[in-house]
Amino acid sequence: MQVEGAGALVAGGASGLGAATSRALAEAGAEVVIADLNAEKGEALAAEIGATFVAADVTDAEAVSTAVELAAGAERGLRVSACCAGIGWAERLSHKRGPHDLEYFSNVVKVNLIGSFNVLRLAATSMSANEPDAEGERGVCVNTASIAAYDGQIGQIAYAASKGGIVGMTLPAARDMASRGVRVMTIAPGLFDTPLLAALPEEARTALGAGIPFPSRLGRPDEYARMVLEVVANPMLNGETIRLDGALRMPPK
């Protein structure tokens, strides 16, 4: 799929992995729409890279529809969708205070899994109306899971379940959209240098990076963004989840 001139939607595109993806797509010539809850960061980034910002919660069908429609207004229509929005929560299934809080579990699943599905269903539907390229392709949707989908640690049951759901829907979504020429892929990053880890002391960040086999450091957001571009460029990548983790396998804790 050619990026230049294509409409691209990046949900959760104002910071971290999403911001790096927004930049990479803009640099590659895409007409980028950034959808995020953080208007201050989103508007600043949009101004920096020549993108459009839309305030949107990924679980809000109307807000995401607005973002999709804006991206579809590009000369070649919406061709690339990347969903990088997500939240975390740490709590054991059962602990001294009682069972895991159901509301927090539901909220993590709502944002991470249902939010990703909401972006996916709306973006894929828009892409279906595009004229196919020479390969018969109309668009590419990229979701963001986590290696926690496979190696969920103690206290990560909500997060792991939500990310595991994203992995699980990748293949059936790709099969659903195959006849329309829309590919669906997922990237499962390991430990990346995002705002969440930036809050940790440098000693703790270094220790986390040292536990990664190779390269023994935290992943860089631009490395995630480069993988998005690789997925978009390679038409045979479809219905699969790619672990982007430096061969890391997370221990129980």
What's the helix, strand, coil split of the chain in %, to 5?
A: 45, 20, 35
Rounded Cα distance between 228 and 82, Å, is 8
User: Max CA-CA distance within the chain?
Assistant: 60
Catalytic residue, candidates 104, 150, 159, 224:
159
- Are 58 and 116 in contact by the 8 Å Cβ rule? The answer is yes
Helix count and strand count (H, E) for the chain: 10, 9
Segments of the chain assigned E as strands: 7-11, 31-36, 52-55, 78-83, 94-95, 98-99, 139-144, 182-189, 241-244
Give yes or no: 159 in active site. yes
Q: How many CB atoms lie within 10 A of CB 77?
A: 18
Rounded Cα distance between 28 and 15, Å, is 19
Alpha carbon 23 to its chain's center: 14
Alpha carbon 196 to its chain's center: 15
- Are 227 and 244 in contact by the 8 Å Cβ rule? The answer is yes
- Are 8 and 33 in contact by the 8 Å Cβ rule? The answer is yes
Contacts of 166 (CB under 8 A, 6+ apart): 112, 113, 116, 143, 144, 145, 149, 186
Name the residues annotated as catalytic: 159
